[in-house]
Structure 1
C-alpha cells in the first residue's frame, strides 16, 4: 500500500523522501527528513496514526494529510486526527487503499500539494463566546474547505443561541463524513445541528450541514423558517457540496437579513456566492490569511470586492453577528433586491 501511494505521488511530480510502517517510524522520519507534508494512515501496528500526529505536531509541526476509510467509523478517527493537528484528509474509496487510490490519483496529488502549503503555525486563539443577544431573524451561510472542520466548530461554538440565527454550513466533505460532522457541531455549540435532508426545514437556533455529495439549495423562506433541497447533479462544479450553490440560492430565496462567511480552504468556491449575497443587500465576512490553514477561498472572495470584513478566525463569530444585527435593525429586513438577483 505504501508502495502504491508512493508511485501515485511520484507520477504526480511529488518527491517521496521517506516511507514508514508505523507511527514510531513516522515520527523519526519527520525528524530526520523534515518533509513538507506527511500522508498518514490511522491503523498501524504499534503507535497508531492518531498518536503519531500528536507527537509530530508537538515536536516538529508539519502539515499532515490523513488517509481515511470512507466509513462512519473512519470519520470518527479522522476528526480525532484533525483535533490533534492534521490539516485535511483523503477518503480512501471503499476504505481500501489498494482498490481505489490509483483511480483518484489526481485528487490525491492535489490534496498533498495543497496540504504541503498549509500553515501549521496559524493563529490558534480560541474565539470568545459572543455576549447574549436579542434575536436577529438572520440567516448565516458558512462555507469552507481545507482546515474548515475545526474553523467552523470554533465559529459556531462562539455564537449565542439567543441570537436565534438560522445557520447553513457547507464544508467540502464526502458523504460518509457529513453526518458525523453535524453531530460533532451539535455537541459543541448551542445550536441544534443536523445533516441536511431533502426538504428539511429550520428555524431560529437551528443549523443544517450540507450532505456530502449533494448541493444544498435554499428552496423557500417564509415565516422565519427555511426549506432546503438537495441536488444530486454536479451542476458543472468541481466540488459537491459547493458553497456557491447554497449562497446563491440563499440570496435568491431569502428576503430577511443574510450574512455569508467564507473560511479557510483551497480554490475559489464561495467567491461567486459572496458576490450574490452582496448584490442582494447582505453582508460577507472572510477569514484573514494569518489564521487560515489555506488562504484560497477567503482570498478569492476578497478579490471580488464584495467582502465587508476580513478578520481573524477568533473574531469571525462576533463580526458575523454584528453584521446580522445591523441588517436586522434596518426595518427588520436590511436588504434591497438587486435587478440581477437570481440571474447569476
Structure 2
C-alpha cells in the first residue's frame, strides 16, 4: 500500500517539485497540498495522511506551530524542509522538539552530491517515516529552557522538557517477538569511553538519553549524528543547555575529558588519536567519495577501536542505512560492548537492524531504557 503524503509549503513551485519527485515512486501517493500551517492542520484532520512534508517558514501559521497543533490533535509523522542557516537550524530543532520526526535541506543540492541521489533519499525518507503508525494524542509542548551555550549547571527539576509522544504504534505482526528483560546489575566491565552513533530520529533520541546523565558522568562521550554542518553548532548548544553533562561541538585537538560529550561536526569526520591517558580528537574534511556519511559512525568507531582496545561502550541508535556496522564489528573484535536500539522505539530501524543482523549487539534496548542502562553499566547512578 502506498504511503499517503500531504505536502505543505507556501511556494507553489516547491509543492509541485516535491509532488513530482514523490509520485515518481510507486510506493508514494500525494493526496493533498496545504499553503500554510493553518491549512496543514485542517487538511491533516480531513485527509488523514500517513505522513506530512512541512516547510518551516510559512504565513498564517508557521511550520513549528503547525507541528505542535498536529501532534496534539492528529499525531502524524512529519518531515521538515529547512534552510541551511543558523536561524534555519534553530527553527528545525524547535520543530523536532515539537514532534517532527526528521528534516532535509530545502535546496536539493544540499541533500546529496547529485540530484538523483537527493531524489532517492527524499523518497526513501518519506517511505520509511510514512510507515510509522499514528501515536496517541499528546498535550502541547512545554517550551525549551535554552538554545544557546551555557555553563554546566544542573537545571531545576521543575523546568524539565516535556517531549511529545513519538511512540508510533506498529501492527501486531510488526512487534518484536519478545520484550528483553533488562539486566539488574552491571556487567562489571571497565570502560574508558562511550560512543553513540545515530541518524534519522537521532536528535530526539540523543536528547532523551543525554539529559538523564549526571554531571559527574565518569567517561567522555562521542556523538556521531548524521547532520549538516550548519546544524551541529546549534544542536550541540541546545544539548549543552539541557544536559547536566557538558556538550560541545568537537574541535581539532580537543582532549577527551570525563563528563563531556563531543558532537562530530557536520560535513567532517571525527577520529580519536593517541593511546594511554592522553587522547585527543582529530577533526578533518573528508573529500573521499567512498564514504557517504560525513560524519561517519564507521570512521569514528574504527578509530576508537584502535585507541581504546575494547574499553568502550558503543551504542547504535535509530537511523537509515547501515553506518556503524563495520566500525562496531571492529570494536567487537577488540572486546568492546555493543548495544543497539530496539525496533519498536526507533524512528527508522535501519542502523540498529544492521547491528542486530550482524550479531554484534549484546543488548537491544528501548530508547527510554538506554540512559538507565548506561548509568548502571558505568556505575554512575
Which is helix-richer, 1 or 2? 1
Q: How does 1:223-262 map to 2 (within 5 A)?
A: 223=277, 225-234=279-288, 236-255=290-309, 257-262=311-316
Contact 2:191 2:312 in 1 (8 A): no
Residue 42 of structure 2 corresponds to 28
Distance 1:80 1:95, change over 3 A: farther
Q: Alpha-carbon deviation of 1:285?
A: 1.6
Q: Secondary structure at the match of 1:319?
A: helix
Q: Secondary structure at the match of 1:291?
A: coil
Rounded to whole Å, the distance in 2 between the matches of 1:224 and 1:314 is: 33
- Residues 1:317 and 2:371 aligned together: yes
- Residues 1:207 and 2:266 aligned together: no
Q: RMSD of the TM alignment (CA)?
A: 2.5
Q: Alpha-carbon deviation of 1:25?
A: 1.1
Residue 43 of structure 1 corresponds to 57
Distance 1:81 1:209, change over 3 A: same
Residue 8 of structure 1 corresponds to 21
Question: How many residues of Structure 1 are paired with residues of Structure 2 in the alignment?
Answer: 313
Q: Deviations over 1:122-181 (max 9, x none)?
A: 549xxxxxxxxxxx7621111111111011011111112223211100011111001111
Q: Which moved more, 1:74-83 or 1:232-241?
A: 232-241
Q: TM-score, normalised by structure 2?
A: 0.76
Contact 1:119 1:292 in 2 (8 A): no
Contact 1:69 1:96 in 2 (8 A): no
Q: Deviations over 1:234-289 (max 9, x none)?
A: 46122221111111110111147211011111111122222122111110121112
Contact 1:285 1:320 in 2 (8 A): no
Q: 2:322 aligns with which of 249, 261, 268?
A: 268
Q: Alpha-carbon deviation of 1:210?
A: 0.7
- Residues 1:198 and 2:252 aligned together: yes
Contact 1:23 1:46 in 2 (8 A): yes
Q: How does 1:317-336 map to 2 (within 5 A)?
A: 317-325=371-379
Residue 183 of structure 1 corresponds to 237
4+ residue segments displaced more than 4 Å: 94-97, 100-103
Q: Which consecutive residues of structure 1, in runs of 5 or more, have no partner in the other structure?
A: 125-135, 327-344
Distance 1:68 1:313, change over 3 A: same
Q: Which consecutive residues of structure 2, in runs of 5 or more, have no partner in the other structure?
A: 1-13, 136-165, 169-189
Rounded to whole Å, the distance in 2 between the matches of 1:94 and 1:262 is: 28
